[in-house]
Amino acid sequence: MEYVRLGRSNVKVSRLCLGAMGFGSTTWREWVLDEAASEPIIDRAIEHGINFFDTCDFYSAGESERILGKLLVGKHPRDSFVLATKAGNPMASHPNGRGYSRKHLFNAIDQSLARLRTDHVDLFQTHIWNADTDLEELVDTMGAIVEAGKARYVGVTTMPAWTLAVCRTHAERRQSAKFVSMQCEYNPAHRECERELMPYCLYDNVALIPFSPMARGFLSANRQGGRNPTSRTNTDDYTHKYYYRDGDFAVQAVLSGIAERHGCSPSQVALAWTLSRPGMTAPIFGATSIQHVDEAVGSLDLSLSEGELSEINAAYVPRGFNSAGH
């Protein structure tokens, strides 16, 4: 396993990050694995040298964090892995049970630490973007969380490039903790962050830890006409909302052809493409089987030719702009 710095920080993370959205409870999503089924996947990731794990308070209403607390924090030396979580999505029905107020963020980090069985996370991040957020309060609060020792670093998930620039400038003026990382959706069929977000991150050395490198499983098999259904593809409204365009099917067909030539899976080609892009620190992949972990690690050794990269790029059809940065 290769290890790289997380942006400008000196902490080292594996070139792949295991995302824990798939660990939790079937009452949240029917394809999610319970604690017993999650354990061998986490163990396999550790065996491969993966030291970077990402979760969120919102996943299975905290159950994902609880599982990582027991199976990762409870079984391995705390300094041997890099643990990341996120906040911002609704965790209660009242108006202050979400978002980026000082009130909610301090409550969210305390609740997450309790579930994770640790006194700190290595990376505490915003989750969904909220356009009416006061950026100064967000930056000051995240800095205070670092000062309190509850997080070592702070980062963000999908937000417009200008807001990230404003946040980092404000943190510098305050001599406070800057956001060191950006999670953005990025794969061969979803490349909108290339417009402004990625160029800014590359310029200022903000770590790029993209999520959905296989498009939530859409790119893993031919999904046209309902082919190759899984529990997730049958129930994931997000995937149907953002993928299933003609251009997305064209990208998947190219990936499948390249995979056949290499004797690997389309998922591995999608992940290898993402890893090959400029500035990629550690793509976040999800796994619901040991095989998924093995395949992801195998993609690190998959080298795509310039011709193959051009094939993939030529199939891509851009999406319309929206204010979230995508």
Question: What structural domains does the chain harbor?
Answer: 3-315 (3.20.20.100)
**Statement: residue 323 has pLDDT above 80:** no
230: confidence class by pLDDT, cuts 50, 70, 90: confident
What confidence tens digit (pLDDT) does each residue in 260-277 have? 999 999 999 999 999 999
Cα–Cα distance measured from residue 183 to residue 186, given in angstroms and rounded to the nearest whole number: 9
Q: Which of 59, 100, 242, 243 is catalytic?
A: 59
Whether 59 is catalytic is: yes
> 301 Cβ partners below 8 Å, 6+ apart?
none
* pTM, 2 dp: 0.96
Lowest mean pLDDT among 83-92, 226-235, 276-285: 226-235
pLDDT at site 322: 67
**In this predicted structure, what is the pLDDT of residue 83?**
99
Q: What is the pLDDT of residues 212-227, one digit of tens each?
A: 999 999 999 998 888 8
Q: Tell me: the pLDDT tens digits for 38-95? A: 999 999 999 999 999 999 999 999 999 999 999 999 999 999 999 999 999 999 999 9
Average pLDDT, the chain: 96
